[in-house]
Chains A and B, each alone.
Chain A
Amino acid sequence: MDISFETVGSVTIVTLGGTYFDAGRSKEFRREVIERLSSPAKILIDLTEIQFIDSSGCGAILAASRRANPTGQGPGDLKLCGVTKQVRMVFEMVRLHKIIDIYNTRDEAIRAFEVDSSAVALASR
């Protein structure tokens, strides 16, 4: 599984390659991504190349989300972008789209992180 990391501002972008994210790869994802992430953290997972995901892949993304935002109250968060047709279908089946924010592109997701930060700053004044 090709996994690359990139940092834009305070956001760590994780790009998954290799067309599928199934039980054969979720273990590697947990080892290479989740265990390396600081917690809390702002994480964006780019799934543009993933054409197939199964329940194990969904479980790994949920685990990463918990790592990024362990309390559920911020300041960390995990967002997704580049979700393909099959992946969206599975996310909808397991209701993952109701738990994790999904964006069409990276820019949209990063802007959403910035808006979140602004909102937090305003709220703290």
Chain B
Amino acid sequence: MLTFNETTVSDAVAQALVGELQASFIPIAATLGCSLAFRIDSRDEWLVIDPACRCDDEYSVGDLDCLGAGRDLATIPIEFEGTWLGDIRVCTPRAAATTLGVLRQIIESTLKRILLEKQESRLRNELSECRQNLEALYETHSLTPTSQSMEAIVDRVLSRAVGGEHDRRAALWVEHNGTLEQFGTEASGNGSRPPFDEGLIRTAVAEQRGLVIDDLQPECGGSARVLIAPVASFHGTRGAVAVWGSASGKPFDSRFVRQTQALATQGVMALEGERLYRAALENELIRQELDIGARMQQMLLIGNQPNPLGFAHVASLVLPSQRVGGDFVEFFPHQDHCIDILIGDVMGKGLKASLVGAAVARQFHRTLCSLLSARQDHLPRPEKIVSIVHEEIARLLAEFDSFVTLNYARIDATTTRFEFVDCGHTPILHHRRQTRQCQPIRGQSMPLGFSDRESYEQVSVLYDDGDLFVFYSDGVTEVRDANGEFFGLERLIALVEGPGHDGNPEALIQIIQTALAHFAGSDRFDDDLTIVVVEAHVAEPPKPGTRTACLEIKSDLSRLEAVRSFVRSVCQGDDYPCLSARRVSLLELAVTEAISNIMIHAYGGRTDCWIRVEGEISNECVLIRCTHTGEPFDPSTVEPPPFDGTREGGYGVYLIDQSVDEVFYVQNGRGIHAITLIQKRQLTEPGA
């Protein structure tokens, strides 16, 4: 056996060398008259080459001596690029030193040529394999779950791992929820069952250590060669590609191992990518459903905040949690001095609670409409409204195995009474403006749905001008901090009694929201947050002989004619017109200009805002008050128009000034603004 450096020269090289030397030396030997002997392995052949001559067990010097009796026995070392590769012993006639020198040169040049050819061939093969590996990685890398099915991606990865070898098979395993899942087997030959136990894969994946077994002896079938290449992705997904084949097949060299590892990474990342993609898709669907649910909740359960009221300033905040909840809020303004407020919470969360909340809120609407249509001149008492609603809704609540806590409250600005029915809801906070003290007020009634025989009783408290009433859901007081502690009622009371809001409902809500977010360490809360703050005022008693009317319109310019119609009806009076036709016309003009300005400038052209138009007739004047919550307006900033035709606009404020006797622009500093127009009744006018 040629004992060349095993990493650079194989048996094949030795065979090739012997072949070359034989072809070269037979004619040389004849020419030189020398009988050369070469020996390969232990076979007896003429022309012996035995570079393993140092191994006496395999080579007998005596044998060679016999062959070369009477001849020199010369040893020719074989070297390549300074590295000793082996020796060749040659028998040659005595004193044929020249022959030996020629022979040595021929051997060296032949050997060099053979080795160079082999080296070139090997490099070419390596280059080819590298290119194939790169192609495999590029191909598998470009496969994405969005463009290919997962099966197709795994098939391509495994196909590349097999690399077209007929007796090879490959499979991909990926860990999911602690267990290994096999994704396809690529088999060039027959059968796809791996010759090893899955425990081998599990161990390799767990330890993240690759495994090459050249001669595995499975229980059935022939010996096998196995490669297991485990990988772990950046996101922690682990898996492995296993390649196996006959033990007599092509061995797994280090390059193949690296390529398989790269393919395993591609396979695992593709599967992980697909899982992330599906998870993202599912999350998006859930998010959309929650979004729709939250909007439905807003639409069905959260009543529109009332328009600017002369006797009460209402502000509300509804922050739905990530889940659809059962909080609901409704406002029922009555006449010009009274408003009912309903705030409730259905037991539990989710769609059921949401639907029950919608049903209860709708039942309050129906009951109130029914009672008001029966007696338009009389407002039903809150306790009567709640009792009727409970009668109607109790069966539904029983069917749904649910109950509802709520507060139904009424603010009456003429009697300065705050009346409410408390059905097990959170206490209402009454903040007295004069003392700056805050007191929780509670009722005694049970939640709706607790008992069929429950009787609902209202509680009544008197209030002063500017007092605040704070309604809230339990989501407010049950906000938790990092230690799990509740925000609680005491902290809420401290905020209401504290500085910073000056009795302004919007400011107080902002303070509470900020404090809750700070307390929870997040502005997203686990439960729905509902807060309603009402600043209640005392309605001025109407002067004797005074008559009032009210109109509420959206900030749409198409409603201007309705406003003028309202002004005309106010001026018409009960029995006779209050103003001359010309002065009514001027008042119409002034009101039109004022409302147009509110719509265009204060509300910036938005058509979904509200404007309240109040009319009041007394013996002295006709007063029209236009209230809005848009941007405030300062008439002193408006320059007088030039009247020379050079400007097409800017006449509104001038026309208002010219049309009415008095005009006031009032800002209360809390976001509510009013333009008041007064047309005094002249002595010559009827009824004055």
User: Interface of A with B (CB < 8 Å)?
Assistant: 20, 22-24, 52, 54-56, 58-60, 62-63, 65, 86, 89-90, 93-96, 98-99
The CA of A86 and the CA of B585, in the complex, are separated in Å by 7
Min distance, Cβ A48 to any Cβ of chain B, angstroms: 18
Of A24, A62, A65, the contact of B561 (CB 8 Å cutoff): A24
* Interface assignment of B308: CB less than 8 Å from any CB of chain A: no
Establish whether residues B560 and A90, one from each chain, have CB atoms under 8 Å apart when the complex forms.
no
Min distance, Cβ B654 to any Cβ of chain A, angstroms: 8
Interface centre among B589, B593, B600, B655 (most CB of A within 10 A): B589
Establish whether residues A59 and B564, one from each chain, have CB atoms under 8 Å apart when the complex forms.
no
Of A24, A60, A89, the contact of B558 (CB 8 Å cutoff): A24
Establish whether residues A94 and B560, one from each chain, have CB atoms under 8 Å apart when the complex forms.
no
Chain A residues with CB below 8 A from B596, complex form? 22-23, 54, 56
Interface centre among B556, B559, B651, B654 (most CB of A within 10 A): B651
Secondary structure class of chain A's binding surface, majority of residues: helix
Min distance, Cβ B597 to any Cβ of chain A, angstroms: 9
By beta carbon, the residue of chain A nearest B582 is A89
Given known pairs A90-B655, A93-B655, A94-B651, the reply for A22 and B560 (CB within 8 Å) is yes
User: Interface of B with A (CB < 8 Å)?
Assistant: 556-561, 564, 582, 585-586, 588-589, 592-593, 596, 599-600, 641, 643-645, 647-649, 651-652, 654-655, 658-659
Known: A59-B649, A65-B645. 18 other contacts (CB 8 A): A22-B561, A23-B557, A23-B592, A23-B600, A52-B585, A52-B588, A52-B589, A54-B652, A54-B655, A60-B648, A62-B645, A94-B641, A94-B651, A94-B654, A95-B643, A96-B645, A98-B643, A99-B644
Min distance, Cβ A123 to any Cβ of chain B, angstroms: 23
Min distance, Cβ A67 to any Cβ of chain B, angstroms: 11
Chain B residues with CB below 8 A from A59, complex form? 647-649, 651
By beta carbon, the residue of chain B nearest A95 is B643
Chain A residues with CB below 8 A from B644, complex form? 99
By beta carbon, the residue of chain B nearest A61 is B648
Of A24, A54, A63, A96, the contact of B589 (CB 8 Å cutoff): A54
Establish whether residues B560 and A24, one from each chain, have CB atoms under 8 Å apart when the complex forms.
yes
By beta carbon, the residue of chain A nearest B557 is A24
User: Which are the 6 A-B pairs with shortest beta-carbon distances?
Assistant: A24-B557, A55-B651, A59-B648, A99-B645, A95-B643, A23-B596
The CA of A95 and the CA of B588, in the complex, are separated in Å by 19
Chain B residues with CB below 8 A from A95, complex form? 643
Can you list 17 residue pairs at the A/B interface with Cβ under 8 Å? A20-B564, A22-B557, A52-B592, A54-B589, A58-B651, A59-B648, A59-B651, A60-B648, A62-B648, A89-B586, A90-B589, A93-B654, A93-B659, A94-B641, A94-B643, A94-B651, A95-B643
Chain A residues with CB below 8 A from B559, complex form? 24
Chain A residues with CB below 8 A from B647, complex form? 59
Min distance, Cβ A41 to any Cβ of chain B, angstroms: 18
The CA of A95 and the CA of B655, in the complex, are separated in Å by 12
Chain A residues with CB below 8 A from B645, complex form? 62, 65, 96, 99
Establish whether residues A55 and B652, one from each chain, have CB atoms under 8 Å apart when the complex forms.
yes
The CA of A61 and the CA of B502, in the complex, are separated in Å by 49
By beta carbon, the residue of chain A nearest B649 is A59
Chain B residues with CB below 8 A from A65, complex form? 645
By beta carbon, the residue of chain A nearest B561 is A20
Chain B residues with CB below 8 A from A94, complex form? 641, 643, 651, 654-655
Establish whether residues B558 and A55, one from each chain, have CB atoms under 8 Å apart when the complex forms.
no
Interface centre among A20, A23, A96, A99 (most CB of B within 10 A): A23
Chain A residues with CB below 8 A from B589, complex form? 52, 54, 86, 90
Chain B residues with CB below 8 A from A86, complex form? 585, 589
Chain B residues with CB below 8 A from A58, complex form? 651
Establish whether residues B558 and A52, one from each chain, have CB atoms under 8 Å apart when the complex forms.
no
Min distance, Cβ B364 to any Cβ of chain A, angstroms: 36
The CA of A59 and the CA of B642, in the complex, are separated in Å by 13
The CA of A23 and the CA of B599, in the complex, are separated in Å by 10
By beta carbon, the residue of chain B nearest A99 is B645
Chain A residues with CB below 8 A from B560, complex form? 20, 22-24
Chain A residues with CB below 8 A from B600, complex form? 23
Establish whether residues B592 and A22, one from each chain, have CB atoms under 8 Å apart when the complex forms.
yes
Of B558, B592, B599, B643, the contact of A54 (CB 8 Å cutoff): B592
The CA of A59 and the CA of B646, in the complex, are separated in Å by 10
Min distance, Cβ B647 to any Cβ of chain A, angstroms: 8
Chain A residues with CB below 8 A from B557, complex form? 22-24
By beta carbon, the residue of chain A nearest B651 is A55
The CA of A95 and the CA of B645, in the complex, are separated in Å by 9
The CA of A83 and the CA of B190, in the complex, are separated in Å by 101
Min distance, Cβ A97 to any Cβ of chain B, angstroms: 11
Min distance, Cβ A86 to any Cβ of chain B, angstroms: 5
The CA of A120 and the CA of B592, in the complex, are separated in Å by 42
Min distance, Cβ A18 to any Cβ of chain B, angstroms: 9
Min distance, Cβ A17 to any Cβ of chain B, angstroms: 14
Of A23, A52, A63, A98, the contact of B648 (CB 8 Å cutoff): A63
Chain A residues with CB below 8 A from B585, complex form? 52, 86, 89
Min distance, Cβ A117 to any Cβ of chain B, angstroms: 23
Min distance, Cβ A96 to any Cβ of chain B, angstroms: 8
The CA of A94 and the CA of B559, in the complex, are separated in Å by 24
Given known pairs A62-B648, A86-B585, A94-B641, the reply for A55 and B561 (CB within 8 Å) is no
By beta carbon, the residue of chain B nearest A60 is B648
Chain B residues with CB below 8 A from A55, complex form? 593, 649, 651-652, 654-655
Min distance, Cβ A23 to any Cβ of chain B, angstroms: 4
Chain B residues with CB below 8 A from A60, complex form? 648
Min distance, Cβ B360 to any Cβ of chain A, angstroms: 40
Min distance, Cβ A64 to any Cβ of chain B, angstroms: 10
